[in-house]
Amino acid sequence: MARIDHLTAREAATIEAFVDGLWAERGLADATLAAYKDDLARFAAWLEAHHNLLDVDRSLITSFLAELGNAGVSARSQARLLSSLRQFYRYQRRNGVLAADPTSDIEMPTTGQRLPATLGEADVEALLAAPNDGSALALRDRAMLELMYAAGLRVSELVSAGRDQLNLRQGAIRISGKGGRERIVPIGEPAVAIVSDYLHRGRGALLGAAVCDRLFVTARGHGMTRQNFWHRIRRHAVNAGIQASISPHALRHAFATHLLNHGADLRAVQMLLGHADLSTTQIYTHVANARLQKLHAEHHPRG
């Protein structure tokens, strides 16, 4: 991977200005900006002394991608690099630095579609019911699982949620998602009842004399972490007898897929998930369709 500090001062400054400008425009996460920076540094290093980032055409970019392919770089990685270049050149075009975008008519490499692993409705019910020993930890874990499934939250959104983001009276939670985009998500009566039970009987018992503004807390009085929650999910999945391998986002994926299976509008699901682009949400239609095809094959007399 190329490093920006190995580039000329001019190229490094061009990349830094782009990253700063993109952050100001869209408030992207540090990891996303770092990925753009690395991809652009890689392309700039490939250009070497013959060209600079602001003096390229379509043929140079396609040659770069072709060399990556010949070197064994996957189509998915090529697509990510091209996406970074598109963002860069669209930014330069938008700000009047370039008259044209050299990536405008370059097609994305075919990557195939990686469908997210999800859970069937019976498995979800079993997982939600798994924390059942009545302890404060079980009350917390069940509330977290219920809320994640009810609202389709990312793990990071779930563990970072503050007590003040939850409105049980209205049955909703306010989420600040990727890029600082805020959304209000309804959570439904079952989740309201279970989260309310945790707040009345579990949270105070876990906190003791400690003070924490996080909604979900540990027995040490701190906010839950992604790693801790993932460890708990795996334990409950085993106890629930779930055979399938599940991801930390399994309940978020199930939320989207089950909504679509029951006839929800794709745009509505996009808003609930907090996706900036509808194409990100559309992958769940493929999951839902794959499930329907499997059911047809298993149960239809001519399947």
- Model pLDDT for residues 226-271, shown as the tens digit of each residue: 889 989 999 999 999 998 778 888 899 999 889 988 888 888 888 8
Which residue from 95, 72, 82, 76 is spatially nearest to 42, judged by alpha carbons?
A: 82
Q: Please state, in angstroms and rounded to a whole number, the distance separating the CA atoms of residues 66 and 62.
A: 6
pLDDT tens, 1-18? 455 656 778 888 899 999
Residue 164 pLDDT? 95
214, 232, 253, 275: the active-site residue: 275
203, 236, 249, 258: the active-site residue: 249
Residue 3 pLDDT? 57
Give yes or no: 37 in active site.
no
Residue 1 pLDDT? 47
What domains can you pick out in the chain, each with its CATH number?
Answer: 4-94 (1.10.150.130), 121-299 (1.10.443.10)
Q: Please state, in angstroms and rounded to a whole number, the distance separating the CA atoms of residues 158 and 7.
A: 40
Which residue from 72, 111, 106 is spatially nearest to 90, judged by alpha carbons?
A: 106
Give yes or no: 249 in active site.
yes
Give yes or no: 10 in active site.
no
Strand-pair partners of 251: none
Burial of 26 from C-beta contacts in 10 A (0-12 / 13-18 / 19+): middle
140, 252, 253, 258: the active-site residue: 252
Cβ distance 250 to 155 under 8 Å?
no
154, 203, 236, 258: the active-site residue: 154
Which residue from 190, 192, 189, 187 is spatially nearest to 172, judged by alpha carbons?
A: 187
Which residue from 72, 77, 76 is spatially nearest to 43, judged by alpha carbons?
A: 77
pTM, full prediction: 0.62
Give yes or no: 275 in active site.
yes
Q: Please state, in angstroms and rounded to a whole number, the distance separating the CA atoms of residues 177 and 64.
A: 34
Give yes or no: 198 in active site.
no
Give yes or no: 253 in active site.
no
